[in-house]
Amino acid sequence: MVEIEFYAKNVISGVPIEIFWGLLGLFVVGLLVLIWWKGFKLGLRYGTVLLLAEWVSLVLCAIVLFRETSAEIGYNLMPFWSYWDYGEHSYFMEMFGENILNVLLFVPIGFLAGCGLERMTFKKVLFLGGGLSVVIELLQFVFKKGFCETDDVIHNVLGCIIGYGLWRVCCIRLLTS
């Protein structure tokens, strides 16, 4: 558990505090303007899309823009390689932690997309999560900002699906009660 906490703190601390507070301020002002302009209910819906855009911005900042550059480019295109690698190395918890955090990083994206974007379907969530994840992995590869791997894409899409599923459960409960 210590390895997961260390990895999470490392990802979060990579974003300069000025960027974080700037995005938070932009969200608050944007939400107030949207509520004033579109009314409360529609303003909140558009505010959810704004929050989705800001979350994606934070993810890009943490994983690509403000991450240290590596000396060499690395990639692994074999799906689920990290699971096969667990038994062979002593850094099981570190790899497990990275996989869990890759899932958790995209849960808000699936949830917010379901809340804010009209007619969001399971198929669209797959394309949103997969497309965004592939773009991030390619940016990491091109700018030498991390290890480009299919496992990250798989875990990110899984997180998006979980987030969308949570939204569907919440939405169905709200509509039936």
pTM: 0.86
What is the rounded CA–CA span in Å between residue 124 and residue 175?
22
* Token code pair at residue 150: 């299919």
> Residue 126 corresponds to which amino acid?
L
Looking at the structure of the chain, the number of domains it has is 1
Q: What is the pLDDT of residues 80-107, one digit of tens each?
A: 777 766 555 556 667 777 888 899 999 9
- Residue pLDDT, tens place only, 32-50: 999 999 999 899 989 999 9
The pLDDT of residue 66: 85
Instruction: State the angle between helix axes of 40-60 and 122-142 in degrees (0 to 180), rounded to the nearest 10.
Output: 30
Question: Is the sign of the CA dihedral 27, 29, 35, 37 positive or negative?
Answer: negative
Segments forming the whole domain that contains residue 119:
2-176
Higher pLDDT, 12 or 1: 12
